Structure 1
Amino acid sequence: MSKSTRATLALAAAKATFEVLTYDYDPDADKIGMQAAESLRVSPSIVLKTLMAEVDGKPVCVVVPSDREVSMKKLAAAFKGKSANMMKPANAEKVTGYVVGGISPFGQKKAVPTVFEAEAMAHELVYMNGGQRGLQVKLSPAEAVAVLKAISAPVVA
Structure 2
Amino acid sequence: MNNIERVKEQLKKHNLLERYLELPSSTATVSLAAQTIGCEEDRIAKTLSFKTKQGAVVIVASGQSRVDNKKFKDFFKEKAVFLKGDEVPELTGHPIGGVSPFGLKDGVKVYLDDSLKKYDYVYPAAGAPNNAVKLSPAELEAASGGTWTDVCKRPQA
Q: Tell me the TM-score range normalised by the shorter chain.
A: 0.7 to 0.9
Distance 2:123 2:36 in 1: 12
Distance 1:147 1:18 in 2: 13
Q: CA deviation at 1:101?
A: 0.9
Deviates more, 1:17-26 or 1:112-121: 17-26
Q: Kindly report which structure 2 residues correspond to 1:4-153, keeping only aligned pairs within 5 A, or say none.
A: 5-16=5-16, 19-21=19-21, 22-25=23-26, 32-56=29-53, 58-79=55-76, 81-153=77-149
Q: Is the 8 A contact 1:8 1:131 kept in 2?
A: no
Distance 1:47 1:26 in 2: 9
Q: Secondary structure at the match of 1:86?
A: coil
Aligned residues: 149
| Cα pair distance change 1:26/1:156, threshold 3 Å | closer
TM-score, reference length from structure 2:
0.84
- Segments of structure 2 that go 5 or more residues without pairing to the other structure are none
Structure 1 residues 21-76: Cα deviation after superposition (integer angstroms, max 9, x where no partner): 2141177xxxx122101221101111111111023463111101122221232223
Runs of 4+ in structure 1 over 4 Å off: none
Q: CA deviation at 1:91?
A: 0.9
Distance 2:49 2:18 in 1: 23
Structure 1 residues 53-108: Cα deviation after superposition (integer angstroms, max 9, x where no partner): 023463111101122221232223333x2222111121111011111111111001
Q: Secondary structure at the match of 1:102?
A: coil
Distance 1:11 1:128 in 2: 12
TM-score, reference length from structure 1:
0.84
- Segments of structure 1 that go 5 or more residues without pairing to the other structure are none
Q: Which amino acid aligns with 2:25?
A: D
Distance 2:105 2:78 in 1: 26
Q: Which amino acid aligns with 2:6?
A: R
| Cα RMSD (Å) | 2.0
